[in-house]
Amino acid sequence: MSFNQEFGQRLFALRKANKHVQKDLAEMLGVSMAHISDMENGRRATTLEKLAQICVFYNISADYLLGLTDNLRPLVHNQKEDVS
């Protein structure tokens, strides 16, 4: 399976699990629904900027979407705690 196909399958599953339609994701990314369809079907890649937007939107690590892990992990934000 190619990188684009795996990314697309994971994006599709994530979108469906969150009960979003292609229009929801397309509007958030500022692209057409055809663009989302092409990404989900492995015919089109995305930019790093849009990958980051998808990760924030779904609170998911890019590692999962990129196929580097099968573990669905939420984003980890490094925030300094106020220790006053």
- pLDDT for residue 82 is more than 50: no
| Domain 3-65: assigned CATH number | 1.10.260.40
* 7-48 pLDDT per residue, tens: 999 999 999 999 999 999 999 999 999 999 999 999 998 999
* 40-77 pLDDT per residue, tens: 999 998 999 999 999 999 999 999 999 999 988 887 76
Q: pTM, whole model, 2 decimals?
A: 0.84
User: Burial letters for 1-37: b for 16+ Cβ neighbours within 10 Å, e otherwise?
Assistant: eeebeebbebbbebbeeeebebeebbebbebeeebbe
Contacts of 36 (CB under 8 A, 6+ apart): 22, 25, 26, 29
Task: Map out the domains of the chain as residue ranges.
Answer: 3-65
C-alpha separations of 62 from 3, 7, 43, 50, 65 in Å: 13, 10, 19, 11, 5
